[in-house]
Amino acid sequence: MRIAVLGGGRSSEHEISLASAAAVREGLAGGGHDVLDVTISRDGVWSLDGEEVELRAGRGLLEADVAFPVLHGPYGEDGTVQGMLECLDVPYVGAGVLASALCMDKLVFKQLMAQAGVPQVAHAGVDDARWRAAREAVLAELAALGRPVFVKPVALGSSVGIGKATTEGELAEALDSALAHDARAIVEAAAGGLEVECSVIGDGDPVASVPGEITISADWYDYEAKYTAGGMELVVPARIPDDVRERVRELAVAVFRLTGCSGLARVDFFVDGDEVLVNELNTIPGFTPTSVFGKLFEASGVPYGELLDRLVGFALERHERERSYRH
């Protein structure tokens, strides 16, 4: 098939996206597909081989059979590009507009999980305007989460803008940093136990991979640990009891369904003994050589090339199904 792989994007995760997109292109080309390298610049311009791409509603994308967005963060993973692809009327890999937007917003995601009774870490949201107007009051309210806490921009990934705080001063600095990236931040209580991740693929009948355990030499799973060779080690299967491992897989599929995801996702957990807490869901997980998503399915018996082909197949199936409805 003719497949347009979208990489880059406007967010601070631009470089990671380019690395992920290169890995996807290589895998698809190895499977015999005609692959188009569509790059989205930091200012949002789409180009192919250095030439700007003309986008016309309802006219598809470069005569591609399917688009494969490998875009991380805002303007790529948050429903905006998905909406563009809907307007172009081209099948695309991954979650649709609503699920993408919902999962990108860490606070809205956690609110949905709470409503559904899904176990998760204690957390609180902080609005930039209120933080500027009432810093002391916000810090006093956040004391209920204990220490340490982790502070994150609401709508970024790849550990960009995230800070760990063990004192009130560090918390204030971390909030300033996170709110430089986003109008809202989320503050999460520290969770004990292991960091465990589980990949999910599918459309109508999602399937979870074998869960893997993240081990790092750093204090916590920051940007350098994620993307520096040797910064983290993935242990597969995760060193947890069999029944807990199955609980992780069940929750991963349940969360995938709750959010209305399609195609692929990686669900992150904290596991402490028998307790399993959902942390977040990534609708476009990394595809770099150090990324977990593909490694977990490879360990589950699905090699990288086959995994990419399945994702393309899910995109085509969903596009055909959704176009069968009257709007």
pLDDT in tens, 292-304: 999 999 999 999 9
| Residues 229 and 165 both lie in one domain | no
Cα 74 to the chain's mean position, in Å?
11
Check whether 90 has a pLDDT greater than 70: yes
Do residues 70 and 6 make contact, with C-beta atoms less than 8 angstroms apart? Answer: yes
| Residues 226 and 175 both lie in one domain | no
Check whether 221 has a pLDDT greater than 60: no
| Residues 109 and 225 both lie in one domain | yes
Residue after which a domain boundary falls, among 146, 165, 189:
189
Check whether 226 has a pLDDT greater than 90: no
Domain-located, residue 170: yes
Domain-located, residue 97: no
Domain-located, residue 230: yes
| Residues 84 and 151 both lie in one domain | no
| Residues 174 and 211 both lie in one domain | no
What was the pLDDT predicted at 290? 76
Neighbour tally for 294: CB within 10 Å: 25
| Residues 71 and 180 both lie in one domain | no
Catalytic residues: 13, 158, 227, 266, 268, 280, 282, 286
Tell me, what CATH number does 221's domain have? 3.30.470.20
What was the pLDDT predicted at 157? 63
Domain-located, residue 325: no
- pLDDT band of residue 161 (cuts 50, 70, 90) is confident
Check whether 66 has a pLDDT greater than 80: yes
What was the pLDDT predicted at 166? 96
pTM for the full predicted model: 0.91
| Mean of all residue pLDDT scores within the chain | 93
| pLDDT tens digits for range 91-134 | 999 999 999 999 999 999 999 999 999 999 999 999 999 999 99
- pLDDT band of residue 217 (cuts 50, 70, 90) is confident
| Residues 230 and 137 both lie in one domain | no
Residue after which a domain boundary falls, among 146, 173, 189:
189
Do residues 213 and 157 make contact, with C-beta atoms less than 8 angstroms apart? Answer: no
Residue 129, classed as helix, strand or coil, is: helix
Domain count along the chain: 3
Tell me, what CATH number does 142's domain have? 3.30.1490.20
Q: Whole domain around residue 167: which residue ranges?
A: 123-189
Check whether 63 has a pLDDT greater than 80: yes
What was the pLDDT predicted at 299? 95
| Residues 170 and 131 both lie in one domain | yes
Between 316 and 160, the more confident residue is: 316
Domain-located, residue 136: yes
The string of DSSP codes covering 189-216 is E---SEEEEEEEEESSS-EE---EEEEE
| Residues 71 and 109 both lie in one domain | no
User: Which are the contacts of 121, defined by CB distance < 8 A and separation ≥ 6?
Assistant: 188, 189, 191, 270, 277, 279
Domain-located, residue 184: yes
Tell me, what CATH number does 67's domain have? 3.40.50.20
Domain-located, residue 18: yes
> Which tokens sit at 154?
């609401």
Residue 217, classed as helix, strand or coil, is: coil
